[in-house]
Amino acid sequence: MLQVGPEVIMEIPDHFEEERPMRVPPVFDEKEGAILSAMCEVPNGTYDSYTLTWKLNPAVQAGTPPAGAAFGQTREATERLIVRGLLRGERLAGADGVYFKNLKLTPKGEQAAIHQRKQGEETKKALADMVRVSAEVVKEMTDKK
């Protein structure tokens, strides 16, 4: 019940007050998701900005302009994850600018990485199911002709 002074303005259903706000799972771009996945697969402290860049971009050759771009994109995504409290590491300066050493998932980051991995597995399974069903539909349609 919403009451202002002696008047009842509106009756609020009981269940409304008991509901909790819906939690929206975090959303990560492709690079952030790849970093979380890579970090989840190995012990903490395995990666620095450089090793993470090469893990995520195996076809890029070191010392080339594409390598510099890949490094910059990986560093930016790493910084976004640090700002969100999902990663931590030692911040250093090098020839390529700022980089991070001994990157580690925070407890919040571990949760996000596990959730991201499970969500990816569910998405792959759902896509495989859709492909299977669509193939069955196509077969059924061609059989009717």
Buried b (16+ CB within 10 A) or exposed e, 93-121: eeeeeebbeebbbbeebbebbeebeeeee
Residue 16 has pLDDT above 70, yes or no: no
DSSP track, 9-71? EEPPPHHHHHPPPPPPPP---HHHHHHHHHHHHS-TT---HHHHHHHH-TTSPTTSHHHHHHH
CATH of 26-116, one of 1.10.10.10, 3.40.50.300, 3.30.310.80, 1.10.3720.10: 1.10.10.10
pLDDT tens digits for range 122-132: 888 998 989 99
What does the block give as tokens for 133? 């069903």
* Between 46 and 38, residue with greater pLDDT: 38
* Model pLDDT for residues 78-123, shown as the tens digit of each residue: 999 999 999 999 999 988 889 999 999 999 999 999 988 888 888 8
pTM: 0.70
Residue 26 is predicted with a pLDDT of: 67
- Give the H or E element holding residue 124: helix 107-144
Domain ranges of the chain: 26-116
